[in-house]
Amino acid sequence: MRKSSVRLAAALAAVALVVTGCSSSSKTDSAAADKQLEIFTWWAAGGEKAGLDGMQAAFEAANPDTKFVNSSIAGGAGVNAKAVLVSRLEANDPPDSFQAHAGMELDGYVKSGKLEDLTSLYASEGWDKVFPADLLKTLTVDGKIYSVPVNIHRANVIWWNPAAATKAGITAAPATLDDFFADLAKFKAAGMTGLALAGKGDWAIAHLMDWMLLASMGPDKFEGLFNGSTSWTGPEVAAALVNFQKALSYGNKDAGNLEWPDAGKLVTSGKAGFFIMGDWASAQWQSDGLVLGTDYTWAPAPGTVGIYQWLSDSFTLPIGAKDHNAALAWLKVCGSKEGQDAFNPKKGSISVRTDSDLTLYDSYLQAAAAEWKVDRLVGSTVHGVNGNNALMAAYSAAAGKYLSGGAKDNAGLAKDLAAAYEAGKA
């Protein structure tokens, strides 16, 4: 039984509101009247693009007369795309549907009046019965739901090359931080970089830091950072940042020049030991022709066994969308079993739906689907669950500043993180 019972109870209350809600739209949900659909994403290559192609095919099969336009803007975690999106929304030129992380990332869009209420769509499509209640809670604002989630990703995953681990004398996945640091030393002694780092664009370093905070503090203290019960400048964060600093000392010196796929290649090629990255990495490597279990393998990241640090991609319906009918048809595909099972096996994520066909998913994803049901659920900060866009931007910038400054000023990083939290409240 899931440990977060209080959150589950609140989520079930939110589900009750779903059934009674009604959308602000009275338009038909058929795409026939619209000649095109423009969606806006940051899925431009690799497993992400392959997954989207699968869902696009499902849409086009149901709506053959509607042109599908993917206005994607490349850039890790959507940093570049979000900047363009904001300018379009401010100019009242929204795409028909845009990608946004489930959770607090949606908060700003909702409060600024940019999104249509989709609550009645949930009721008509039966999503309130096949989407997890905990997830529905993160999509609900004042009893209304504003996006359709297409997947669940896991952020707290450690990846490594089995051959490299054997060379270093490592025979089992590190379960604790003590195990992790001992194994980093073994990789170093074997002539390899211990930890692959990607510092270009800041977010991947912030992703690593987010895991280290969770692993060092535990889920309750970590979640307290975002509800005000744990101090960003207190002893728990200070101890976690010492661990973060130590982990970075085992990293590649050219981290500031590498995007996450480049850092991942250090691991799959045997040049580096471990990589802390979300499970989209597996989809990327498979699109490159690598084989799960042979060229790379995985485990829950050290210190977080039994914890599922999650994020979810979702699609919205902006107010003022030019192709409103096509957008509704797209959202129906996004929430459908067919659409999600076409998308997720290629994207490297699990379906939101509880009735997905797990025979379509690889061994990692089947394990992730099982652990999602029983692990303690904790949100990812870098990917929009714990804070809005303002918090995420400042959080990532703080981690990037720390890396570029030589990872020496722990007190300064703690203050910058506290300021990031305050920026999210403004």
Q: Print burial letters for 74-103: b (CB count within 10 Å at least 16), e (below 16).
A: ebbbbbebbebbeeebeeeebbbbbbbbbb
Last residue of a domain, one of 374, 393, 417: 374
**Which has the closest alpha carbon to 154: 403, 385, 336?**
385
Q: Are residues 106 and 234 in the same domain?
A: no
Q: Are residues 257 and 236 in the same domain?
A: yes
Q: Which amino acid is at 143?
A: G
CA 161 and chain centroid, separation: 23
Q: Are residues 239 and 337 in the same domain?
A: no
Q: Are residues 67 and 136 in the same domain?
A: yes
Q: Are residues 293 and 321 in the same domain?
A: no
Summarised one tens digit per residue, pLDDT across range 321-354 is 999 999 999 999 999 999 999 999 999 999 999 9
Number of domains in the chain: 2
pLDDT lower than 70: segments of the chain: 1-30, 32, 76-77
What lies within 8 Å, CB to CB, of 202 at 6+ separation is 79, 396, 397, 399, 400
Q: Are residues 215 and 303 in the same domain?
A: yes
Residue range(s) defining the domain that contains residue 292: 154-309+380-425
Q: Are residues 272 and 344 in the same domain?
A: no
Question: How far apart (Å, rounded) are the C-alpha atoms in residues 31 and 323?
Answer: 8
How confident is the model at residue 32, as a pLDDT?
A: 65
Residue 346 CB-half CA count within 13 A: 19
Last residue of a domain, one of 357, 374, 391: 374
**CA-angle at 418, arms to 413 and 421, nearest 5°:** 125
Q: Are residues 115 and 244 in the same domain?
A: no
How confident is the model at residue 238, as a pLDDT?
A: 98
How confident is the model at residue 349, as a pLDDT?
A: 98
Q: Are residues 300 and 412 in the same domain?
A: yes
Summarised one tens digit per residue, pLDDT across range 133-174 is 888 888 888 899 999 999 999 999 999 999 999 999 999 999
Q: Are residues 223 and 233 in the same domain?
A: yes
Q: Are residues 235 and 340 in the same domain?
A: no
Q: Are residues 339 and 387 in the same domain?
A: no
What backbone torsions phi and psi does residue 377 show, to the nearest 5 degrees?
A: -90, 130
**Which has the closest alpha carbon to 312: 91, 151, 179, 118?**
151
Question: How far apart (Å, rounded) are the C-alpha atoms in residues 34 and 38?
Answer: 11
- Whether the full predicted model's pTM is greater than 0.85, yes or no, is yes
Residue 59 sits in a domain whose CATH number is 3.40.190.10
